[in-house]
Structure 1
Amino acid sequence: MKVEYPGFGRIVINGETYEHDVVIYPSGKVEDRKKWISKRKHGTSHRLDPEELREYLKEDFEVLVVGTGFYGYLSLLPESRGLVKGKEVVELPTEKAVERFNELRGKKRVLAIFHVTC
Protein backbone atom coordinates (compact mmCIF):
# COMPACT_ATOMS: atom_id res chain seq x y z
CA MET A 1 0.00 0.00 0.00
CA LYS A 2 1.35 3.38 -0.98
CA VAL A 3 0.00 6.57 0.58
CA GLU A 4 0.93 10.06 -0.57
CA TYR A 5 -0.13 13.50 0.59
CA PRO A 6 0.50 15.78 -2.38
CA GLY A 7 -0.99 18.78 -0.58
CA PHE A 8 -3.95 20.49 1.00
CA GLY A 9 -7.29 18.82 0.30
CA ARG A 10 -6.26 15.48 -1.13
CA ILE A 11 -4.55 12.22 -0.33
CA VAL A 12 -3.53 9.48 -2.75
CA ILE A 13 -3.85 5.83 -1.75
CA ASN A 14 -2.61 3.21 -4.19
CA GLY A 15 -2.94 5.71 -7.03
CA GLU A 16 -6.53 6.71 -6.16
CA THR A 17 -7.10 10.32 -5.11
CA TYR A 18 -9.43 11.11 -2.21
CA GLU A 19 -10.53 14.67 -1.57
CA HIS A 20 -11.92 14.02 1.90
CA ASP A 21 -10.76 12.61 5.23
CA VAL A 22 -10.13 8.88 5.23
CA VAL A 23 -9.52 5.98 7.58
CA ILE A 24 -7.12 3.18 6.64
CA TYR A 25 -7.50 -0.07 8.56
CA PRO A 26 -4.69 -2.55 9.26
CA SER A 27 -6.23 -4.85 6.61
CA GLY A 28 -5.77 -2.09 4.00
CA LYS A 29 -9.46 -1.26 3.78
CA VAL A 30 -10.07 2.46 3.14
CA GLU A 31 -13.25 4.29 4.11
CA ASP A 32 -14.48 7.84 4.54
CA ARG A 33 -13.97 9.36 7.96
CA LYS A 34 -17.30 9.71 9.80
CA LYS A 35 -16.44 13.23 10.90
CA TRP A 36 -20.08 14.30 11.19
CA ILE A 37 -20.21 12.40 14.48
CA SER A 38 -17.65 14.71 16.07
CA LYS A 39 -19.02 17.77 14.29
CA ARG A 40 -22.54 17.14 15.63
CA LYS A 41 -21.25 17.06 19.22
CA HIS A 42 -18.55 19.74 19.10
CA GLY A 43 -19.55 22.00 16.22
CA THR A 44 -16.31 21.08 14.45
CA SER A 45 -14.73 17.98 13.01
CA HIS A 46 -11.37 19.06 14.45
CA ARG A 47 -12.01 17.20 17.72
CA LEU A 48 -11.88 13.43 17.40
CA ASP A 49 -14.68 12.37 19.73
CA PRO A 50 -14.74 8.90 21.37
CA GLU A 51 -18.06 8.10 19.69
CA GLU A 52 -16.45 8.67 16.29
CA LEU A 53 -13.24 6.84 17.20
CA ARG A 54 -15.24 3.77 18.32
CA GLU A 55 -16.49 3.50 14.72
CA TYR A 56 -12.92 2.71 13.61
CA LEU A 57 -11.95 0.20 16.31
CA LYS A 58 -13.12 -2.73 14.15
CA GLU A 59 -9.74 -4.36 13.63
CA ASP A 60 -6.91 -5.11 16.02
CA PHE A 61 -4.04 -2.62 15.72
CA GLU A 62 -0.80 -1.71 17.45
CA VAL A 63 -0.40 1.90 16.33
CA LEU A 64 -2.92 4.67 15.74
CA VAL A 65 -1.63 7.28 13.30
CA VAL A 66 -3.62 10.51 13.20
CA GLY A 67 -2.90 12.95 10.40
CA THR A 68 -3.96 16.20 12.02
CA GLY A 69 -4.31 18.16 8.77
CA PHE A 70 -2.19 20.58 6.79
CA TYR A 71 -2.06 23.02 9.73
CA GLY A 72 -2.50 20.41 12.47
CA TYR A 73 -6.05 21.30 13.59
CA LEU A 74 -7.41 17.79 14.26
CA SER A 75 -6.78 16.46 17.76
CA LEU A 76 -7.80 13.50 19.87
CA LEU A 77 -9.95 14.40 22.84
CA PRO A 78 -8.65 13.09 26.20
CA GLU A 79 -11.62 10.70 26.37
CA SER A 80 -10.65 9.35 22.94
CA ARG A 81 -7.13 8.68 24.16
CA GLY A 82 -8.64 6.49 26.86
CA LEU A 83 -10.08 4.21 24.17
CA VAL A 84 -6.60 3.50 22.78
CA LYS A 85 -4.75 3.22 26.07
CA GLY A 86 -1.89 0.76 25.69
CA LYS A 87 -1.56 1.45 21.98
CA GLU A 88 1.08 3.64 20.39
CA VAL A 89 -0.47 6.92 19.22
CA VAL A 90 1.19 9.14 16.62
CA GLU A 91 -0.34 12.56 15.99
CA LEU A 92 1.37 14.64 13.32
CA PRO A 93 0.44 17.08 10.58
CA THR A 94 -0.85 14.95 7.72
CA GLU A 95 2.26 15.22 5.56
CA LYS A 96 4.47 13.85 8.37
CA ALA A 97 1.78 11.37 9.48
CA VAL A 98 1.71 9.87 5.97
CA GLU A 99 5.49 9.48 6.06
CA ARG A 100 5.26 7.76 9.45
CA PHE A 101 2.40 5.54 8.27
CA ASN A 102 4.48 4.42 5.28
CA GLU A 103 7.43 3.65 7.59
CA LEU A 104 5.29 1.59 9.99
CA ARG A 105 3.07 -0.22 7.48
CA GLY A 106 4.25 -3.79 7.04
CA LYS A 107 6.11 -3.70 10.36
CA LYS A 108 3.13 -3.13 12.65
CA ARG A 109 -0.66 -3.23 12.43
CA VAL A 110 -1.56 0.40 11.82
CA LEU A 111 -4.92 2.14 12.02
CA ALA A 112 -4.74 5.57 10.38
CA ILE A 113 -7.07 8.54 10.35
CA PHE A 114 -6.08 11.30 7.94
CA HIS A 115 -7.54 14.82 7.94
CA VAL A 116 -6.68 16.17 4.48
CA THR A 117 -7.55 19.85 4.81
CA CYS A 118 -6.77 22.30 7.61
Structure 2
Amino acid sequence: MAIIGAPFRMPRFESLVWGKAVIDGKTYNYDIVILPDGRIEPRTTPYETLGSHTFTRDEIERLINAGAEVIVVGTGTSGMAKLSPEAQRLASERGVELVVQTSPLAINTYNWYAAQGRRVAALIHITC
Protein backbone atom coordinates (compact mmCIF):
# COMPACT_ATOMS: atom_id res chain seq x y z
CA MET A 1 0.00 0.00 0.00
CA ALA A 2 1.38 3.41 -0.96
CA ILE A 3 1.51 6.07 1.72
CA ILE A 4 0.43 9.49 0.50
CA GLY A 5 3.38 11.85 0.55
CA ALA A 6 5.91 9.03 0.95
CA PRO A 7 8.89 9.24 -1.41
CA PHE A 8 8.71 6.95 -4.42
CA ARG A 9 11.44 4.32 -4.51
CA MET A 10 12.67 2.86 -7.77
CA PRO A 11 13.52 -0.84 -7.90
CA ARG A 12 17.10 -1.71 -6.91
CA PHE A 13 19.26 -4.41 -8.46
CA GLU A 14 20.96 -6.60 -5.89
CA SER A 15 22.89 -8.89 -8.23
CA LEU A 16 23.20 -10.25 -11.73
CA VAL A 17 24.86 -13.43 -12.91
CA TRP A 18 24.44 -15.24 -16.21
CA GLY A 19 20.72 -16.00 -16.60
CA LYS A 20 19.56 -14.47 -13.31
CA ALA A 21 18.99 -11.00 -11.89
CA VAL A 22 17.81 -10.19 -8.38
CA ILE A 23 15.84 -6.98 -7.86
CA ASP A 24 14.50 -6.08 -4.41
CA GLY A 25 14.77 -9.71 -3.31
CA LYS A 26 12.94 -11.16 -6.31
CA THR A 27 14.71 -13.34 -8.87
CA TYR A 28 14.16 -12.79 -12.60
CA ASN A 29 15.22 -15.41 -15.13
CA TYR A 30 14.54 -13.31 -18.21
CA ASP A 31 15.69 -10.08 -19.79
CA ILE A 32 14.34 -7.11 -17.89
CA VAL A 33 12.79 -3.76 -18.70
CA ILE A 34 12.42 -1.22 -15.91
CA LEU A 35 10.19 1.68 -16.83
CA PRO A 36 10.73 5.18 -15.39
CA ASP A 37 7.69 4.69 -13.14
CA GLY A 38 9.38 1.68 -11.51
CA ARG A 39 7.41 -1.09 -13.22
CA ILE A 40 9.46 -4.19 -14.02
CA GLU A 41 8.51 -6.16 -17.11
CA PRO A 42 10.02 -8.98 -19.14
CA ARG A 43 11.84 -7.96 -22.30
CA THR A 44 10.45 -10.29 -24.89
CA THR A 45 10.34 -10.40 -28.64
CA PRO A 46 7.98 -12.45 -30.78
CA TYR A 47 10.89 -14.85 -31.35
CA GLU A 48 12.69 -15.33 -28.06
CA THR A 49 11.71 -15.43 -24.41
CA LEU A 50 15.09 -14.04 -23.31
CA GLY A 51 15.10 -11.24 -25.86
CA SER A 52 17.17 -10.78 -28.95
CA HIS A 53 20.79 -9.69 -29.06
CA THR A 54 19.77 -6.35 -30.58
CA PHE A 55 18.06 -3.57 -28.67
CA THR A 56 15.72 -1.93 -31.17
CA ARG A 57 14.48 1.55 -31.91
CA ASP A 58 10.99 0.50 -30.77
CA GLU A 59 12.30 -0.57 -27.35
CA ILE A 60 14.09 2.75 -26.86
CA GLU A 61 11.12 4.74 -28.16
CA ARG A 62 8.80 3.05 -25.67
CA LEU A 63 11.04 4.11 -22.77
CA ILE A 64 11.40 7.65 -24.09
CA ASN A 65 7.63 7.93 -24.48
CA ALA A 66 7.26 6.66 -20.90
CA GLY A 67 9.28 9.66 -19.71
CA ALA A 68 12.85 8.36 -19.38
CA GLU A 69 15.56 11.01 -19.32
CA VAL A 70 18.28 8.35 -18.98
CA ILE A 71 18.19 4.83 -20.42
CA VAL A 72 20.69 2.27 -19.15
CA VAL A 73 21.25 -0.64 -21.53
CA GLY A 74 22.89 -3.82 -20.24
CA THR A 75 24.43 -5.75 -23.12
CA GLY A 76 24.77 -9.06 -21.27
CA THR A 77 27.37 -10.57 -18.99
CA SER A 78 29.90 -10.66 -21.85
CA GLY A 79 28.55 -7.70 -23.81
CA MET A 80 27.22 -9.71 -26.75
CA ALA A 81 23.96 -7.75 -27.20
CA LYS A 82 24.08 -4.51 -29.19
CA LEU A 83 22.07 -1.32 -29.49
CA SER A 84 20.86 -0.72 -33.04
CA PRO A 85 22.09 2.44 -34.82
CA GLU A 86 18.44 3.51 -35.21
CA ALA A 87 17.95 3.26 -31.44
CA GLN A 88 21.08 5.32 -30.79
CA ARG A 89 19.98 7.96 -33.30
CA LEU A 90 16.49 8.22 -31.78
CA ALA A 91 17.84 8.77 -28.27
CA SER A 92 20.22 11.42 -29.55
CA GLU A 93 17.46 13.19 -31.50
CA ARG A 94 15.20 13.22 -28.43
CA GLY A 95 17.93 14.39 -26.05
CA VAL A 96 17.82 11.24 -23.92
CA GLU A 97 21.05 10.08 -22.31
CA LEU A 98 22.02 6.51 -23.21
CA VAL A 99 24.43 4.49 -21.11
CA VAL A 100 25.46 1.21 -22.75
CA GLN A 101 27.53 -1.21 -20.64
CA THR A 102 27.88 -4.89 -19.90
CA SER A 103 25.00 -5.91 -17.66
CA PRO A 104 27.04 -6.32 -14.44
CA LEU A 105 28.18 -2.70 -14.78
CA ALA A 106 24.82 -1.47 -16.08
CA ILE A 107 22.90 -2.60 -13.00
CA ASN A 108 25.18 -0.51 -10.78
CA THR A 109 24.82 2.47 -13.11
CA TYR A 110 21.04 2.07 -13.07
CA ASN A 111 21.04 1.90 -9.24
CA TRP A 112 23.13 5.09 -9.09
CA TYR A 113 20.80 7.06 -11.38
CA ALA A 114 17.74 5.77 -9.51
CA ALA A 115 19.27 6.82 -6.17
CA GLN A 116 19.83 10.31 -7.62
CA GLY A 117 16.11 10.57 -8.35
CA ARG A 118 16.58 10.67 -12.12
CA ARG A 119 13.83 9.44 -14.49
CA VAL A 120 15.83 6.36 -15.41
CA ALA A 121 14.78 3.29 -17.37
CA ALA A 122 16.71 0.10 -18.03
CA LEU A 123 16.93 -2.63 -20.64
CA ILE A 124 19.01 -5.47 -19.24
CA HIS A 125 20.08 -8.60 -21.15
CA ILE A 126 20.81 -11.31 -18.55
CA THR A 127 22.71 -13.87 -20.60
CA CYS A 128 25.77 -13.62 -22.87
Which range, TM-score by smaller chain? 0.7 to 0.9
**CA 36–72 in structure 1, closer or farther in 2 if over 3 Å, else same:** farther
In the alignment, which residue of structure 1 is the partner of 2:77? 70
Q: Which structure 1 residue ranges, 5 or more long, are not aligned?
A: none
Corresponding residue SS for 1:113: strand
**CA 102–11 in structure 1, closer or farther in 2 if over 3 Å, else same:** same
Asked if the contact 1:36/1:45 (under 8 Å) is kept, the reply is no
Q: Which structure 2 residue ranges, 5 or more long, are not aligned?
A: 1-10
* Amino acid paired to 2:33: V
* Amino acid paired to 1:49: T
Higher mean alpha-carbon deviation, 106-115 vs 55-64, is at: 55-64
CA distance in 2, matches of 1:36, 1:63: 26
Deviations 1:36-90 (A, max 9, x none): 37x7xxxx81111223433444411111100110000111111111221211111
CA distance in 1, matches of 2:71, 2:81: 14
Which structure has the larger Rg?
2
* Amino acid paired to 1:19: N
Residue among 110, 119, 125 paired with 1:101: 110
Q: Could you state the TM-score of these two structures normalised by the residue count of structure 2? A: 0.79
In the alignment, which residue of structure 2 is the partner of 1:19? 29
> Percent sequence identity over matched residues?
35
In the alignment, which residue of structure 1 is the partner of 2:120? 110
Q: Could you state the TM-score of these two structures normalised by the residue count of structure 1? A: 0.85
Asked if the contact 1:5/1:94 (under 8 Å) is kept, the reply is no
